[in-house]
Amino acid sequence: MRVRFFGTRGSIATPSRHTLRYGGNTSCVEVRSNAGTLVILDMGTGAAVLGRELLKDAPPHGHVLISHTHWDHIQGIPFFAPFKIPGSVWDIYAPRGFDRTLRETLAGQMEYTYFPVALEQLGATIRFHELVEGRFRVGDIEVTSRYLNHPALTLGYRLEADGVGIVYACDHEPHSRALATGDGDIAGEDRRHAEFLAGADLVLHDAQYLAGEYRQKVGWGHSTVEYALAVARFAGAKRLALTHHDPLREDRAIDELVAALRSESRRTAGPKVFAAAEGQELELSATRSVAVARPDFPAQAQLGSALVGRSALLAMETPSKISGLSDALRADDVHIIVSDVANAPAAAQRERPMLVLLEDTGDARAAAASRAIRHLAGEPDELPIVLVTPSEPRGDGMENGFSDFLVEPYSPVYARTRIRAWLMRAACHWVRAPTPNDEERRLAATRALSLIETPPEERFDRITRLAAALFDVPIALIALMERDREWFKSRCGLDLCEVPRDESFCGHSVYLRQPLVVADARLDERFADNPYVTGPPGVRFYAGHPLILPDGSCVGTICVLDTRPRHIDNHGLERLRDMADLATRELEFPK
């Protein structure tokens, strides 16, 4: 894998005779796998230079991974020459927002007021992909995305190919203020950040400030060089490239801080440290690889209606905190429930929120409430419970069930972004089954049946009628799984003719290619918050069997549902398989 730096400066392009060596252009890094897959990490002003280079191999194509849409990470886009070349194909990936699409956001900086050429006038084919935390693949490169700590929803990226792991983490502020200034333990969210860096051959890390400067920069969303070294060392990273240099940091000052950090890193057996410089090129080859746990959640999942009708619980007593955090939540259309700290468990049980913010009242009440919520039956383990506290807690708070902390004072945008990340994560946990590996083939086989949107047919309806009677349930369905929806060819006892795939139980059975039984959906974290569980028809029991054609394509399911919890034994599962066989035969032999 080859890495080239085209922009290493943070915040604003800084050309000057004092920034000649490390460079003045803002964030942009080119990564190429040995097989030739091109990934561009961020498109700050450095992208203009990279774009001119890429014109040599026309028509250029590649993948652009944007960390977030602050100016210093996107300003090179209008000047990236390959976007103007007809026949050139580009995929742009960036964090999914709540209100504007990625395309709208990027088109904004190219409106007539700011730039003479609009985004839609560019000659290349540009495809936009919105991401949450998870995994995806571009060419032969496996990518993991993870939220960073910044006053705008920001993703860090880990790329793996050719036996090499690279992590790009700009812009990111330490969660722990003590850690930012070089003290304290790596715990909680900082520890999870370090795990994202685990064993990487190269970490490109935000290192805008020095520990001594941090006090004036709290909440600005950037790391200190001391923090970057501490997490990279903890992670066992082999090389650490400091980047996103402060615009005020001149070449000489960067030399000095690198020299100091190198001796510290040598003393503590840390990674090889250097400051990324514009024009610098690195060739990385496979080393002893470190197995890293990768999320199995697809980073490109459609969250769609994930937040609609969802609620957040503010268990707080101070009116100013309630109103400030309510404003942050309202911006994302989340329903807000307020209770005092002592009544938080009762409110959580009643309302099933997707996020709980608990005020630290200076005594043991918040910890007791958190533990009580964790003990509620059916509450998903991933429910984010966040302590809003005036002082940075020691340790990670796990023993009290806290998943994270919001340390005061915080700015409204900072609180809003943290809340968004918690909501996004919570939404991802339940929203959608992963997409099968053979999805395109599976979709083609489903469409080839020519049954989608056809009227009900007795040959299918008699099967669902029999299934409902056999299992003594009110609802039985024969479902076909399309790209974004589950469509019911036959529905006994249900008025709906389709549901979004995001909210589909059957999606899990299609992914697993195995029967799925949910004895009580309210006690299953995948489905407890599903709108068909919390609202009509009030599903509690589900048993589905995949419908697999002789060529191996799984096109849908037959399933039975009840509004009461129940069990199904092996004998029942065999009967369900019989029904699936009958339905598959009808699919195979039309009319």
CA gap 555, 462 in Å, rounded: 20
- The per-residue DSSP string of 540-552 comes to -EEEEEEEE-TTS
CB of 436 to Zn ion, least distance (A): 36
- Is 522 a binding residue for Zn ion by CB under 5 A? The answer is no
Closest to Zn ion by CB, 79 vs 343, is: 79
- Answer for which of 171, 278, 502, 529 binds Zn ion (CB under 5 A) is 171
Q: Is there a contact between 169 and 205 (Cβ–Cβ < 8 Å)?
A: yes
CB of 96 to Zn ion, least distance (A): 17
Q: Is there a contact between 339 and 315 (Cβ–Cβ < 8 Å)?
A: yes
- Answer for which of 30, 42, 72, 396 binds Zn ion (CB under 5 A) is 72
Helix, coil or strand: residue 132? coil
CB of 280 to Zn ion, least distance (A): 19
Residue with the CB atom nearest Zn ion in the bound state: 70
Comparing C-alpha atoms, which of 26, 36, 43, 29 is closest to residue 62?
A: 36
CB of 546 to Zn ion, least distance (A): 45
Part in contact with Zn ion (CB under 5 A); list of ranges 33-41, 68-76, 266-274, 569-577: 68-76
Part in contact with Zn ion (CB under 5 A); list of ranges 45-53, 72-80, 457-465, 482-490: 72-80
Part in contact with Zn ion (CB under 5 A); list of ranges 171-179, 184-192, 257-265, 281-289: 171-179
CA gap 431, 423 in Å, rounded: 12
Burial of 182 (0-12, 13-18, 19+ CB in 10 A): middle
Q: Is there a contact between 520 and 538 (Cβ–Cβ < 8 Å)?
A: no
Part in contact with Zn ion (CB under 5 A); list of ranges 70-78, 356-364, 568-576, 578-586: 70-78
Give every CB contact of residue 126 below 8 A, 6+ residues apart in sequence.
83, 90, 91, 92, 119
The letter for the amino acid at 547 is L
CB of 145 to Zn ion, least distance (A): 16
Closest to Zn ion by CB, 70 vs 96, is: 70
Closest to Zn ion by CB, 74 vs 357, is: 74
Closest to Zn ion by CB, 157 vs 527, is: 157
Closest to Zn ion by CB, 206 vs 524, is: 206
- Answer for which of 9, 32, 70, 175 binds Zn ion (CB under 5 A) is 70
Q: Is there a contact between 562 and 520 (Cβ–Cβ < 8 Å)?
A: no
Query: Would you give the binding string for Zn ion spanning residues 361-390, x where CB under 5 A is met?
Result: ------------------------------
Strand 155-161 to strand 141-147: parallel, antiparallel, or no bridges (unpaired)?
A: antiparallel
Closest to Zn ion by CB, 13 vs 347, is: 13
Part in contact with Zn ion (CB under 5 A); list of ranges 34-42, 63-71, 89-97, 534-542: 63-71
Q: Is there a contact between 396 and 353 (Cβ–Cβ < 8 Å)?
A: no
Closest to Zn ion by CB, 95 vs 384, is: 95
Strand 281-283 to strand 335-339: parallel, antiparallel, or no bridges (unpaired)?
A: unpaired
Closest to Zn ion by CB, 247 vs 572, is: 247
Q: How many CA atoms lie within 13 A of 326 on its CB side?
A: 14
Alpha helices in 388-491 (DSSP H): 412-431, 439-448, 458-471
Closest to Zn ion by CB, 14 vs 464, is: 14
CB of 500 to Zn ion, least distance (A): 33
CB of 206 to Zn ion, least distance (A): 8
Part in contact with Zn ion (CB under 5 A); list of ranges 64-72, 291-299, 358-366, 385-393: 64-72
Closest to Zn ion by CB, 9 vs 233, is: 9
Residue that has been written with the tokens 């849409």 in this structure: 69
Number of residues located near Zn ion, criterion CB under 5 A: 3
Q: Is there a contact between 289 and 6 (Cβ–Cβ < 8 Å)?
A: no
Helix, coil or strand: residue 365? helix
Comparing C-alpha atoms, which of 584, 434, 423 is closest to residue 507?
A: 434
Q: Is there a contact between 471 and 560 (Cβ–Cβ < 8 Å)?
A: yes
- Contact positions toward Zn ion, by CB under 5 A? 70, 72, 171
